A and B are shown apart, each in its own frame.
Chain A
Amino acid sequence: MSEQVKSRVLIAKPGLDGHDRGAKVVAHLLIEAGMEVIYTGLHQTADQIVKAALEEDVNVIALSILSGAHIPICEQLLKKMKQAKIGNKTVVVGGVIPEADARILKKMGVKAVFPTGTRFEDITGFITKTARTTAEVTSIKTKPR
Chain B
Amino acid sequence: MKKEITIREVTLESGIPVKPVYTPDDVREINYTEDIGAPGEFPFVRGIHSNMYRVQPWTMRQYAGFGTPCETNKRFKYLIENGQDALNVAFDLPTQNGLDSDDPRAFGEVGRVGMAVDTLKDMEDAFDGIPIDRISTSLTINPIASIMIAMYLVVAEKHNVPLDQVRGTAQNDILKEYIGRGTWIFPVVPSVKLIGDTIEYCARHLPRYNPLSVCGYHIRESGATPAQEMAYALLIAKAYALHSINRGLKPDEFLPRFSFNFDIHGNIFEQVAKFRAGRRLWARITRNELNAKDPRSMMIRMIAGGGGGGLTIEEPENNIVRGAYYALTSALSGTQTMALCSYDEAYTIPSEKAALISLRTMQILSEEMGLCDTVDPLAGSYYVERLTNEMEKKITAHINEVEELGGIVKCVENGHIQRQVSYQAFQHEKEIQAGKFVKVGVNKYRSEKKGSRKVALYKYNPRTVKEQIKRLNKVRKERDKKLVMKNLGILKEKASSSENLMPHILDCVRAYATVGEMTGVFKEVFGEFKEPVKI
Contact = CB atoms under 8 A, between A and B. Distances in A.
Contacts, number: 107
A59 to B, nearest CB: 19
A67 B92 CA distance: 10
A117 B105 contact: no
Interface in A45-73: 45, 67-69, 71-73
B107, B425, B442, B460 interface centre (most CB from chain A within 10 Å): B107
A96 B346 contact: yes
B109 interface: yes
A42 B433 contact: no
B450 to A, nearest CB: 10
Interface string A15-54: 1111111001101110100000101111101000000000
Contacts of B369: none
A67 to B, nearest CB: 6
A119 interface: yes
Interface string B506-532: 000000000000000000000000010
B188 to A, nearest CB: 15
Given A21-B222, A69-B112, A72-B108, A98 B425 contact: no
A67 B535 contact: no
A3 interface: no
B533 A40 contact: yes
Given A25-B425, A28-B426, A18 B177 contact: yes
Contact of B181 (A13, A19, A72): A19
Contact of A76 (B106, B107, B222, B533): B107
A116 interface: yes
A25 B429 contact: yes
- The DSSP consensus for interface residues of chain B is loop
B111 to A, nearest CB: 11
B68 interface: no
A119 B433 contact: yes
A19 B349 CA distance: 15
A117 B442 contact: yes
Interface in A67-86: 67-69, 71-73, 76
Contacts of B422: 20-21, 24-25, 27-28
Contact of A29 (B93, B107, B182, B426): B426
A16 B107 CA distance: 9
B433 A68 contact: no
Nearest to B451: A99
A69 B348 CA distance: 11
B222 A20 contact: yes
Contacts of B426: 24-25, 28-29
Contacts of B425: 21, 24-25
A118 to B, nearest CB: 10
Contacts of A19: 180-182, 221-222
Interface in B317-334: none
A16 B93 contact: yes
Contacts of B423: 28
Contact of A73 (B106, B108, B314): B108
Interface residues of B, number: 42
Contacts of B106: 16
B378 interface: no
Contacts of A126: none
A15 B457 CA distance: 22
A45 to B, nearest CB: 7
A42 B182 contact: yes
B183 interface: yes
A91 to B, nearest CB: 17
B108 A17 contact: no
Contacts of B107: 15, 72-73, 76
B108 A15 contact: yes
B156 to A, nearest CB: 29
A21 B180 contact: yes
A109 interface: no
A21 B94 CA distance: 20
A98 B347 contact: yes
B108 A21 contact: no
B453 interface: yes
A17 B433 contact: no
A18 to B, nearest CB: 2
Interface in B98-119: 99, 105-109, 112-113
Nearest to A65: B108
B312 interface: yes
Nearest to A70: B108
Interface in B397-456: 422-423, 425-426, 429-430, 433, 442, 453
Contact of B535 (A37, A71, A96, A116): A37
Nearest to A42: B182
A101 B423 CA distance: 30
Contacts of A39: 533, 535
Given A15-B93, A42-B531, 18 more contacts: A15-B107, A16-B106, A17-B93, A18-B93, A21-B422, A21-B425, A24-B425, A25-B426, A28-B423, A68-B349, A69-B109, A72-B107, A73-B107, A76-B108, A96-B346, A96-B347, A115-B313, A117-B313
The 8 closest A-B pairs by CB, nearest first: A18-B182, A72-B108, A24-B422, A16-B93, A28-B426, A69-B108, A41-B533, A41-B531
Interface of B: 93-94, 96-97, 99, 105-109, 112-113, 177, 180-184, 221-223, 312-314, 346-349, 422-423, 425-426, 429-430, 433, 442, 453, 457, 460, 531, 533, 535
8 contacts: A16-B94, A17-B182, A18-B181, A25-B429, A45-B105, A67-B109, A68-B112, A73-B108
